[in-house]
Chains A and B, each alone.
Chain A
Amino acid sequence: MRSLAYTRFELVRTFRNWRLLVFSLGFPLVLFFMIAAPNRDVHNFDGSGIALPLYYMVGLVSFGAMTSLISTGARIASERTDGWTRQLRITPLRSAAYFRAKVLTGYAMAGATIVLLYASGISIGVSLPAGRWLEMTGLILIALVPFAALGVLLGHLATADTIGPATGGLVSLLALVSGTWFPLGSHGIVHDLAQYLPSYWLVCASHISLGGPAWAGTGWAVVGSWAAVLAILARVAYRRDTKRV
């Protein structure tokens, strides 16, 4: 299968880059152990009845997985700078196969982050019913679709030297206003606007573990709309991106 050969190639290439692995997989783990390990016995975080390790584990899962998928953009930007994207353009590789490879590679990185954080959580006493793990993880994976498209889009818009600040700033901002690090409260302008962001629903998905509700209709509509719009924009950006960078 042609398209799978390219996907396999991308996966091999990405997982061989140990610097990338150390920073994108290692960073959330280090943060998690720094915050949660000394507080492993805090079972009633801030009077909420929630265990602190669980709260930060799922917070870092949304942050880390979102970062992994948006980082696809950094890899694409450097491929463009190297002229590799133009080289691919003059092969019979279809754009669908290109997107599949990029999205699956991003998901593989996100999946690795999620699994490592779950394992780290369990190692310091996080426990959840099997159904909760599954429901949370399934919904997180769906909530990541818009970010997969966003990564490809940014990669074809930014250059190798602008992609870092662009994605770093964007992820931090989204994480902050979506309640990744601390609760947003239940009203106010940030809360109202955040509901239209896909990152808000990503955090909601991860909070299923804390006893939060699964998505209502709004959640599906917001995530679905962002996914569709960003996928279309990513496709347009890829199509137009044939010039020398």
Chain B
Amino acid sequence: MSSHPSYRAGLARIDDLRRQADALRRASLGSVERDDAAPGVVLRGAVKSYRTGGAVVHAVRGIDVSIAKGDTVALLGPNGAGKSTTIDMLLGLIAPDSGSVSLMGGPPKDAVAHGMVGAMLQAGALIRDVTPRELLKMMASLHPDPLEVADALELAGLTEVADRRTQKLSGGQAQRVRFALALVADPAVLILDEPTVGMDVEARRGFWASVRGFAARGKTVIFATHYLEEADAYADRVILMSNGRVVADGATSEIRARVGRRTIRATLPNIDLATLSVLPGVAAADRRGEEIILVCSDSDAAVRALLGAYPEARDIEIAGAGLEEAFVELTTYHEDTPAPTRRQEALV
């Protein structure tokens, strides 16, 4: 792989760009609006509804998001959260009913016309009767400053099947062709809509390694997924969507923390539960045999108070809420609820 000149040049630029990106990140840390530093993607009050069979579906109910250039961001949410609609608005494929969308400092259509956008869309099949190499060659010819076709094929792991007809490719290979189609434009923004659907574990790992290599060149990457682990492992920042709204936005560790509840388990026999539940930071107390379980709103305060009052407590374990629990808790939102619930109001 390192034999390709463009790849080597890319590697040489990575450190440089990383330093720049870090500088930008540091500069923007103090400010609330990150896009002051470098507006890559901005959605302001974007709303989109559509009709299906007489019913109105409120796909996106007003989202405000801004993503700095060079960031890798996951749009995480269950099916029907509004991820794909958001992506379609980012790509200029649909216009918001109200609100605004800008991509690389202008309307999405301009960014697309200038070849700054590469996208991997959810799709049924690849078009037939062509080879991946021909497909990429044609795609490259449409863009002002594309990658070498051979490099794109290699980055997507398609060199061996480059001259096979698309209808003879496996599902995973077809998915990699879609990835290569997005890459070959060498776009400033790479948008991936549920890119690893249909890939096995190994293919996924290879795929994300390629995406990381691409992002490391200072590119903006936005991907939609309903796989928690992917968002956690590959994004700098996670935008959690549910029912057309952003319900949480930040690093995955922050999102975990937002759910807030940690539990303390300890062996502490013969203590009245009522005295435990009034300790600072404890929301509820329970007992399983000799073990007590404290559900905490502030586990730090609770553990201090527990040890202060009962130094004999032993086998102490403090567990954070898993990302999975955070995900379920933040995205459980009833269809007919008109306004955000109190919990979500507190969070947003």
Contact = CB atoms under 8 A, between A and B. Distances in A.
A92 interface: yes
A81 interface: yes
A93 interface: yes
Contacts of A81: 124-125
A92 B142 CA distance: 6
A183 B312 CA distance: 107
A82 interface: yes
Interface residues of A, number: 24
A16 B129 contact: yes
Contact of B112 (A5, A84, A90): A90
Contacts of A17: 128-129
A91 B112 contact: yes
B142 A83 contact: no
A82 B143 contact: no
B50 to A, nearest CB: 8
Contacts of A82: 123-127
A83 B115 contact: no
B78 to A, nearest CB: 18
Interface in B90-139: 91-94, 112-115, 117-119, 121-130, 134, 137-139
B124 A90 contact: no
B127 A13 contact: yes
Given A90-B112, A92-B144, A13 B93 contact: no
Nearest to B141: A5
Nearest to A1: B141
A2 interface: yes
A187 interface: no
Given A9-B134, A13-B130, A82-B127, A89 B142 contact: no
B181 interface: yes
25 contacts: A5-B137, A5-B138, A5-B142, A6-B138, A12-B134, A13-B128, A17-B129, A81-B124, A82-B124, A82-B126, A83-B123, A83-B124, A86-B123, A87-B121, A89-B91, A90-B112, A90-B119, A90-B121, A91-B112, A91-B143, A93-B142, A242-B88, A242-B93, A243-B88, A244-B84
Interface of B: 84, 88, 91-94, 112-115, 117-119, 121-130, 134, 137-139, 141-144, 178, 181, 185
Minimum-distance CB pairs A-B, first 9: A83-B123, A5-B141, A9-B138, A242-B93, A16-B129, A82-B125, A91-B142, A84-B127, A13-B129
